[in-house]
Amino acid sequence: GWFYTRLNNNRMENEELFIILSYMVYKYEYTDAVVEDYLDIYPQKDRINARIKDKGDITKTLEAAIENDKVKNNFIKSLKTTEAFIKKIISLLVDDEPEHLDDYLKKELESLLYLGGKKGTVRRRTLQSFYLLWYLLKDVNISRIARNKLEMREEIIDIFSLVKSNPDINEDVSKLTKEFGNKSEKFILKFTPQKRSIQLNMDEKEYLLTKQSNICPICDTNIFISDDHEVDHITPLSLGGRDGITNLQITHKTCNRGKGNRIK
């Protein structure tokens, strides 16, 4: 009712959108391809545009899924990931519980993608807008969206201002390309969780325990290096925490497992 390119779907364009998004997920998650290999983001006169580099490769991928069980299973997983992507957008757009959810989502999505034109006017939805929204949100998890949705919406609206006509650009497409690259890279780095990589040695663990006065910060009881313990991120990586020692603490293993993806 709200996630579509055309409300009148006689030409199967909405199914095409879902398959293309799933194709991009498949290439991103299950092949060695980088995004630039299949998604072309480029300047077109006074705006940024996006397109699939080779739509014939989508057909080849679907044909391979018929012949190869591994490709088939991975593509099915990609379809489910696309469903999760749509749920991310719902989380991004919804602040409360509107009475008519589909109408609310339709209006909010169009504001997100097209804000900046004359009030009350909405440009026709295009595939490129969904491609670019996927590009920005592909690695952002839903818990981070729920926590930072207002800030994220503002930055996405700012980025999408470059997808509309920019007469002030004066044909300087290099400036437009650089601006889109800088803004989108900043957004992705800001809201994509860091990968867990830091490993503490025994001296560093002892340092943190001393700093904590040998108290587990989750249950507020004594903890010692000989106890069954884990190194915990104070602010989870999924919520924007950094993978550095200043964001680490020593907790009981059971406490950490119970904490999950939350901040105490």
Convert the pLDDT of each residue in 192-239 to its tens digit.
877 777 788 888 889 899 999 999 998 999 998 888 998 988 888 777
* Structure letter (DSSP) for residue 53: S
2-25 tens-digit pLDDT: 999 998 888 899 999 999 999 999
Q: What is the per-residue pLDDT for 116?
A: 45
Q: How far is CA 4 from CA 9, 13, 18, 83, 211, in A?
A: 9, 8, 9, 13, 53
60-115 tens-digit pLDDT: 999 999 999 999 999 999 999 999 999 999 999 998 888 899 999 999 999 898 75
The 8 Å CB, 24+ separation contacts for 6-10 are 6/125
User: Is residue 125 scored above 90 in pLDDT?
Assistant: no
Lowest mean pLDDT among 116-125, 154-163, 248-257: 116-125
Lowest mean pLDDT among 99-103, 130-134, 164-168, 191-195: 164-168
Residue ranges per domain, the chain? 13-191, 202-259
